[in-house]
Copies of this chain bind each other. A is one copy, B any other.
Amino acid sequence: MEKEINFRIATEQDLDKIVEMLADDVLGRKRERYEQPLPDSYIEAFRAISSDPNNELVVACHGDEIIGVQQITFTPYITYQGGWRATIEGVRTSSASRGKGIGTELINWGINRAKERGCHLVQLTTDKERPDALRFYEKLGFKATHEGLKLKLK
């Protein structure tokens, strides 16, 4: 790619493209609703994230085009002597941009942001149905030391 990849906090104008990327995925298409107009629930969540100093929705841009997204949550915990952690979630790159190292740049950006925020740990969970994602994160230095458990509520 000729143009540099830039990272910035998402604006509400980016939300359409973000939802499109999240829906364009083998697991995402089962659970997202990418429609026009965008369902209100996405807009409400966007505003809740944007107004929370401990949540950052980050987009990767190639020129004006949004090609990746991730959400980083910064959380203070009592454990580890009162240490802060960064949790990364909702990572996606646009299908046209896959295999070009954008995901690696995106996560490395998140790791640096976690350091800036004074976190001692970056954590995330990855669906066991995505073995490629597990290898991707392990290559970046993450260790799969934990089981990730989910309980769906009615």
C-alpha spacing A41/B81, complex, angstroms:
6
Residues of A that sit less than 8 Å from B by CB: 15, 18-19, 22, 28, 31-33, 39, 41-46, 48-49, 52, 54-55, 57, 69, 71, 73, 75-84, 87, 89-90, 111, 114-115, 119-129, 134, 137-138, 140-153
Contacting residue for A150 out of B15, B75, B90, B146, CB 8 A? B146
Cβ of B150 and Cβ of A126 under 8 Å apart?
no
Closest to A111 in B: B151
- Other than A31-B80, A77-B89, A123-B149, give 4 A-B pairs with Cβ distance below 8 A: A42-B78, A46-B78, A121-B151, A122-B151
Considering the complex, give the chain B residue whose CB is closest to the CB of A42: B82
